[in-house]
Structures are given as structure tokens and as C-alpha cells.
Amino acid sequence: METARPSSEQGSSEPLCGPRRGHAGFCGTRLARTVFPQEALCMQPDTGEPGQPGERVIGIDLGGTNVQIGVVEFGDEPGYRVVGREKRKTKPDQGVETVIERVAKGVEKACELAGIKPSQAAAIGVGAPGVVEPHQGVVLEAVNLRWDEVPLAERLSERLGTPVYVDNDVNAAVFGEHRLGSGRGASHMLGVWVGTGIGGGLILGGDLYYGHFLTAGEVGHMLAIPYNPAGSRSLEHNCSRSAIVERLVKLIRSNRKSLLTDLVEDDFSQIRSGVIAQAYRAGDPLVVEVIEESARLLGTHLAGIHSLLSLERIVLGGGLVEALGTPYVHIVAEELRRSAFPDKIKGVEVVASRLEDDAGILGAAMLARERLGDPAYSR
């Protein structure tokens, strides 16, 4: 759907991208090849000043089923540790007010575990599903929450007494990977999250790129098989976990044999990413066939995106990628390099998410940390 430009951008043709406060230190560094050991980080005393080591920022990953909250303490770049966590059911069927209150109470609990009050945090960042206007922190449309035009930043800020910044949930996760994970050092990066659906986020010039309608990076909605019937044409319809499960169940019911039948005891509603990965690692022919076909299809379409944008790095995340691991990433990368043109761009790095399930809360916290004090995101 067409969405309005933020008030500060009305009448401007300038894209919603470009460097923000604190970006220079990341764009010039090389990618670290080792996992950051959070427990070994040397943390500095809390100064209470935004952007300084020791500050605490709250990150929220708001989903249609669950909301995950983390109080993140930042030290010397890229030092951080999560000092308080809380996870709650979202319950969107109970309405906007209930969801916001559940999020607020979850924040209070996470802060209690961290030994602070919400008002003592420097800022709060939220990754929310759907189309988000990031300058004003408004969720314009979120189908799985049943939300339209919800001023989430304003409402949460009033409730908790802390500045709140909101962005799309996959944008937040991709931003987290760019600042703290597998994307560090890359100026031009695409993040693709493969789980129940497929989402994406785009980093150009070292910062999130939104596009005119605030939907840049939504790779899951790109056409994968144009002449398929409606509802089975997009990348999400063919490569997401939901699509893979649907195909596996259809093939099993047509008398194809699979370990999945025993693993879930004929209850196909229990097929999750972990079960698929278990069957894949065991060499189940049907699962191997379906997974590798979907990975190759994803790689082919990422090659087209890469040919258009000339990316430095592509980060793959989400539940299916985490469960299947390196073999899946290698197949996607192999197909991408086979299909990419010209030859010069075949050197793109294709890597798995390093932050995994924490990418959402860490990315939301980093977004809030960098946007605090930026007049374009005033609160």
C-alpha cells in the first residue's frame, strides 16, 4: 500500500538512507571472524550519558505470537551484554491496548531483572512487524497484529517515561547484524530472514535504506515463479518454512516416504525448523530434495538482487537458517554465484547470522542507541 512520507520529508526526493550518528566507526572496519564472547567483555561503569560505554538500552522484538525484550548494556564498541530478559505472549486478538500494556509490563519485568527502572534506560528500540514509519515510530500496517496507524513510539514512551524508536522487525534484526554481527564492516549488505515467512532488510552506504514507500528489502514478496497460480508465486510462497512444510506434507500424503512421519508421529502440524533439520541431517531423501530445491531457488533470486545492487555481503538468518546451518547457506551461496553476472560480483560474501535469535532485540537496541538525539527521529 502507498504510505505517506514522514513530515520532515514532505516535498523532498531524498531517499531515507545515509549515515547517522556513530556510523563511521563501523563502515571502515574489517569483519571479525570470531564470535564476540559476551561474558568476556570488559564493561565500563554506567555514565548515564547517551552513546557512552555502560549505558543501558532496551531492545524489543515484537512478533505476532511472542514479544521478546532485552536490557542491553553497552561497553566499548562492539562490547555489549544482555543483563535482563523477558518473553511474553503478544495476544493480538485482545486489541492494541492490551498488546501495548503487555509490552510495557514485559519491559518493567526485564528492567527489574537488570536492576533498573525503565526511565533509567537511555532509550527503547522496538522492531515491529509490517510497514513502519521510522521517523515518527508509527506502525502503518501490521497484518499479524491487526494494526493500522498505531503510534507505538508515542504510546510506549508515554507509558514508560523513556524515548522510544520503532522500525520494522527484520530491519532491526538486519541492523543488529550490521552493527554487532556478521555484517560488521560491510557498507552494502542485504539481510534475508527465512522462517515462517521471508523478510529482508537492506543496508546501503552503511545505513538502512527504506525507499519511497518504506518497504525496501521485502524480498519475500518478489515473484519467484510468475506463472504459478495466485498465492504460490512469490519467494515466500516457495522458500519459507511454511511453504517447505506444505510441500513436504503434500508429498508425504501422495505416498512419498519420509522420516518426518515418525519424528512427528503423524501430526504434521508439529513440523518445525528443528524437525526438518533433524531429518535433513539424517539424509532423508524427501527432505533433502525439498530443502535443496528451495535453497537453490532462493540463491537464484538473490543473484538477481545482487546483480542489481552490487552488494558486498548477504547475511542469512531466521529460524530455518539457524536450524539447517552451514549446508543450507552453502547451497544458497553456490547457486547465487552460479547465476550472478558479471563475474566480478561473484565474490560477494554469503554468511549466516551470528546473533541468531538475539538479532531482533540487539538490533532494536542499537537503532534506539544511534537515533537518540537525532532530530530526524525526535521524541
Check whether residue 168 and residue 48 sit in a common domain: yes
Rounded to two decimals, the pTM is: 0.84
Check whether residue 232 and residue 306 sit in a common domain: yes
Check whether residue 268 and residue 346 sit in a common domain: yes
Q: Is residue 16 in some structural domain? A: no
Exposed (0-12), middle (13-18) or buried (19+): which is 215, by Cβ within 10 Å?
A: middle
Q: What cell does 321 get?
A: 537458517
What b/e string do you get for 25-60 counting C-beta neighbours within 10 Å, with b at 16 or more? ebbeeeeeeeebeeeebeeeebeeebeebbbbbbbb
Per-residue pLDDT of the chain (379 residues; tens, 9 = 90+): 333 333 333 333 333 333 333 333 223 322 222 233 333 232 333 333 334 447 999 999 999 999 999 999 998 766 899 999 999 999 999 999 999 999 999 999 999 999 999 999 999 999 999 999 999 999 999 999 999 999 999 999 999 999 999 999 999 999 999 999 999 999 999 999 999 999 999 999 999 999 999 999 999 999 999 888 988 999 999 999 999 999 999 999 999 999 999 999 999 999 999 999 999 999 999 999 999 999 999 999 999 999 999 999 999 999 999 999 999 999 999 999 999 988 888 889 999 999 999 999 999 999 999 999 888 886 6
Cα 337 from Cα 24, distance rounded (Å): 30
Beta bridge partners of residue 164, listed in sequence order: 124
Check whether residue 167 and residue 223 sit in a common domain: no
- pLDDT (0 to 100) of residue 120: 95
Q: Is residue 362 within 8 Å of residue 327, measured between CB atoms?
A: no
Q: How many domains does the chain have?
A: 2
Check whether residue 168 and residue 237 sit in a common domain: no
Check whether residue 203 and residue 131 sit in a common domain: no
Check whether residue 140 and residue 224 sit in a common domain: no
- pLDDT (0 to 100) of residue 338: 94
- pLDDT (0 to 100) of residue 44: 32
Check whether residue 239 and residue 285 sit in a common domain: yes
Q: Is residue 4 in some structural domain? A: no
Q: Is residue 124 in some structural domain? A: yes
Check whether residue 211 and residue 245 sit in a common domain: yes
Q: Is residue 140 in some structural domain? A: yes
Check whether residue 45 and residue 163 sit in a common domain: yes
DSSP codes joined into one string, 199-266: EEEEEETTEE---TTS-TT-GGGSBSSTTSPTTS-BHHHHHSHHHHHHHHHHHHHTT---THHHHTTT
Q: Is residue 221 within 8 Å of residue 235, measured between CB atoms?
A: yes
- pLDDT (0 to 100) of residue 15: 34
- pLDDT (0 to 100) of residue 344: 86
Check whether residue 201 and residue 347 sit in a common domain: yes
Q: Is residue 184 within 8 Å of residue 25, measured between CB atoms?
A: no
Cα 185 from Cα 207, distance rounded (Å): 12
Distance of CA 180 to the CA centre of its chain: 13
Cα 168 from Cα 211, distance rounded (Å): 13
Tell me the Ramachandran region of residue 325: left when phi exceeds 0, alpha when psi lies from -120 to 50, beta otherwise. Answer: left
Cα 2 from Cα 208, distance rounded (Å): 20
Residue closest to 95 by CA, chosen among 166, 148, 41: 148
Residue closest to 41 by CA, chosen among 78, 77, 83, 79: 79
Q: Is residue 14 in some structural domain? A: no
CATH code of the domain in which 149 resides: 3.30.420.40
- pLDDT (0 to 100) of residue 1: 33
Check whether residue 121 and residue 238 sit in a common domain: no
CA torsion sign for 204, 220, 181, 183 is: negative
C-beta atoms surrounding 184 within 10 Å: 21
Cα 6 from Cα 277, distance rounded (Å): 43
Q: Average pLDDT over the chain, rounded to whole?
A: 87
Q: What cell does 363 get?
A: 538490533
Q: Is residue 319 in some structural domain? A: yes
- pLDDT (0 to 100) of residue 379: 63
Q: Is residue 23 in some structural domain? A: no
Expressed as residue numbers, the domain containing 304 is 189-353
Q: Is residue 13 in some structural domain? A: no
